[in-house]
Structure 1
Amino acid sequence: MSTTIDVSVRAEAIGSDPMAVVEEISGWLSTPAEEVDREFACELDRLRIAVSVMNSDAAAGDRRAHYCQQLLLARIYQLTMQIPEQPTAEGSVVVHEVMRLLEAATLAAEDDRIEPGILDQAPAQPKAYLSWLKGTARAHRVFKHPYYQDFIKDHATVDDLRNYVMQESVVDGRFDDLLAMMQVGTSGGAKMEIATNFWDEMGNGNQAEVHTHLFNKIFEVFEITSAELEAGLSANALLSGNLAVLLSRYRTFYAEAVGFLGMTEWLVPDRFVQVVKAWERLGLPDVGIVYHRLHITVDAQHAAGWFHNVVIPAASSPAMRRGMMRGALWRLNSSCRYLDERMPTTDR
């Protein structure tokens, strides 16, 4: 898929800095959708060019453009991921057009990183497919990544853990909402498995044990503010959160969501064991590690249920097999890049 933008077209973009695009469009998000469409519909061609240039530069390896691309998509997604205190641009045709350009570029970039031919290697028999999917994951560099196995466990400082928690918030901090969106339209055993997972996230009816509430306790330990949170997120952390939202909200990407979220839960227990070791090594307040301790056991159970009650029944369909593996690879590859950048560049 070509993402090259002609020089004459590039000249029509907003300014020379992709952050100018982000800030202009972000400024509209707290405006009612009808007003945005009335005032800025005439700007749609200009916006398409500006966002397309950003996407092209991101695909070419421009780190600033990639950060701006994912920051803008994350801000747009907030329109549907939180209850607003005032009217917003949710439902705006103009904003939707921008969002779709960002989404298409994001998914194209992830597809470009999938090893050619691997999606065609999936066994047709469902149990064999599951074994193959797990085997592919185990062979991936991210499966036992040194960020967790060495750095977090043995070397991370309090500031390192603080930064780690901020980056992880884009998925861990809203996993319940991802499950709620994903289950729409499902039925039978798959719906029951997702519902069971969701109810666990809800603390099985105990508000004090809701998992997002427990996760927010970590923010209290580190005194992390919401303003600091967005400013501290890296491009690849934003990407992880954006992929999770994108796949969960669109029914056409249900198969990819199964693979992406299933792989997320399968990787968690071993990773969180290392986080708990680091937390205890540093002597941090016990209230802040309840979330991670809980998920070492809970996510092992969830992953097993997910594989057997969602993946195996769906694997009888060639389209579902391909989609689930595609989503799993998006998670493995994006997580690997995210962890690679978190590794220290100097010896400690």
Structure 2
Amino acid sequence: MSTQSNPQSLHAEVKAWIYSRDLESIPVGARNQLREQVDLLARNAFQGGDETALTEAHRVLYVINMAQLTAPWEVKRLNVGDPLFAQLKGILEKCWHQASLKKYAPVLESLPPAASFKEWVTQTVRAHPSNISHPIFAFLRDKATFEQLREFFLQETPLEVLFGDIIALMLPGVYGGIKLELAKNFWDEVGHAQDPRVHRNMRFDLMDYLGLPRDIYTERMDLFMREELALVNMYMSMATNRSRMTEILGALLATETMIPGRFDWQIQGWRRVGMGDKPLAYHLEHTTVDVEHANAWMDEIIVPLLARNPAAMPELVLGIMLRLDTAGAVVDRLYDHVKGLRESSLGPYVGTHKVP
């Protein structure tokens, strides 16, 4: 097995190596060549801003991140624990993080006072263009067809089905209020130990209803926009790097604050095209539990953390801004994508349920 010269095929090469039966037989020179290719890809993507390189960089990261969430008994071979893949992931994430620090330097140099942080977060999230003020949400509520709503749902699948795993990755090594609030979030994610109520399973139920394969987020990465892959990679880069734990606390604060409104407008859109509330159980669940999580996340995690360690403010703010702007890129791209769409990327709905 040898590395391919086409940089746009690096993700396929990395994936082949991760699941290869003969990784040990790959010569040192080939490993070094792959590292060099990924290093060049990272610089072209995150320093040079090359669009093709950005797409491939996020595909490589996504492949590695999905392997980190794969059970070894589900595949014939799983080599993701080999140091090579940690090195590739580290190369890409370090370059990406350096670019982010440079981008947000002006924000991080003018931080809000700790006493007014709660108000600053509320206003920042409410006013951010990725929130329900974005035209895509009015479009979904008032105008989108069944197929357009289905495509929006499809494109948001990767992060939504992995959210419980991301919370779980944060649990080790934190205690007190942070541990308790994370545990409450995770307890809701796993449906209070009732399998049908596990959020991932509830989403899978709606995917079944909409005729979307449950494994599409791993088996058809090509269907998903780069921006959605970047959103997953953002969370995973923070959740798997202990030094970025403070950032993900900020990112999740923004997430929990924003989610209920976004889901409510989607529910109204689905009802408009004739869907009943039973298939919408996943969406309806998130309009209630996430309101509670947003308040508790602020009061039980963020405020006490800042009281103990005011120096955590820059990393919290960086996480908030990364989450808002990365999600903003998703809805910007999705709005352009779904407006003129007649059928979803996977093809038209062919399920047995009656749809308008």
TM over 0.5: yes
Distance across 2 between alignment mates of 1:246 and 1:56: 17
Structure 1 residue 229, shift from structure 2 partner: 4.3
Preserved contact between residue 45 and residue 54 of structure 2 (Cα < 8 Å): yes
Q: Cα distance 1:73–1:346, how it changes in 2: closer, same or farther (>3 A)?
A: closer
Give the residue type in structure 2 aligned to 1:255: T
TM-score by length of 2: 0.86
Distance across 2 between alignment mates of 1:322 and 1:245: 20
The gaps in structure 2 that reach 5 residues or longer are 341-356
Preserved contact between residue 162 and residue 200 of structure 2 (Cα < 8 Å): yes
Between the two proteins, the alignment pairs up a number of residues equal to 331
Distance across 1 between alignment mates of 2:28 and 2:257: 44
Structure 1 residue 327, shift from structure 2 partner: 0.5
Distance across 2 between alignment mates of 1:173 and 1:346: 21
Structure 1 residue 307, shift from structure 2 partner: 0.6
RMSD, matched Cα: 2.1
Alignment of 1:245-264 (within 5 A): 245-264=236-255
Aligned partner of 2:13 in structure 1 is 24
TM-score by length of 1: 0.88
Distance across 2 between alignment mates of 1:313 and 1:341: 37
Distance across 1 between alignment mates of 2:339 and 2:279: 28
Aligned partner of 2:81 in structure 1 is 91
Deviation string for 1:306-348 (max 9, x for gaps)? 0100110111323321111110100011111111111137976
Task: Give the alignment partner of residue 188 of structure 1, picking from 149, 156, 176.
Answer: 176
Aligned partner of 2:110 in structure 1 is 121
Structure 1 residue 159, shift from structure 2 partner: 2.0
Taking only the aligned residue pairs, the percentage that are identical comes to 25
Tell me, yes or no, if structure 1 residue 162 matches structure 2 residue 154: no
Q: Cα distance 1:101–1:305, how it changes in 2: closer, same or farther (>3 A)?
A: same
Q: Cα distance 1:162–1:105, how it changes in 2: closer, same or farther (>3 A)?
A: farther
Aligned partner of 1:323 in structure 2 is 315
Give the residue type in structure 1 aligned to 2:203: F
Distance across 2 between alignment mates of 1:61 and 1:294: 39
Structure 1 residue 265, shift from structure 2 partner: 1.4
Distance across 1 between alignment mates of 2:222 and 2:190: 28
Aligned partner of 1:283 in structure 2 is 274
Alignment of 1:1-348 (within 5 A): 14-15=4-5, 17-31=6-20, 35-59=22-46, 60-84=48-72, 85=74, 86-114=76-104, 116-125=105-114, 127-225=115-213, 226-227=215-216, 229-284=220-275, 286-316=277-307, 317-344=309-336
Q: Cα distance 1:131–1:38, how it changes in 2: closer, same or farther (>3 A)?
A: farther
Aligned partner of 2:351 in structure 1 is none
Q: Cα distance 1:113–1:292, how it changes in 2: closer, same or farther (>3 A)?
A: farther
Preserved contact between residue 147 and residue 342 of structure 1 (Cα < 8 Å): no
Deviation string for 1:41-82 (max 9, x for gaps)? 322332232112222332333322211111111111112212
Structure 1 residue 14, shift from structure 2 partner: 4.8
Q: Cα distance 1:46–1:279, how it changes in 2: closer, same or farther (>3 A)?
A: same
Give the residue type in structure 1 aligned to 2:225: S
Aligned partner of 2:354 in structure 1 is none
The gaps in structure 1 that reach 5 residues or longer are 1-12
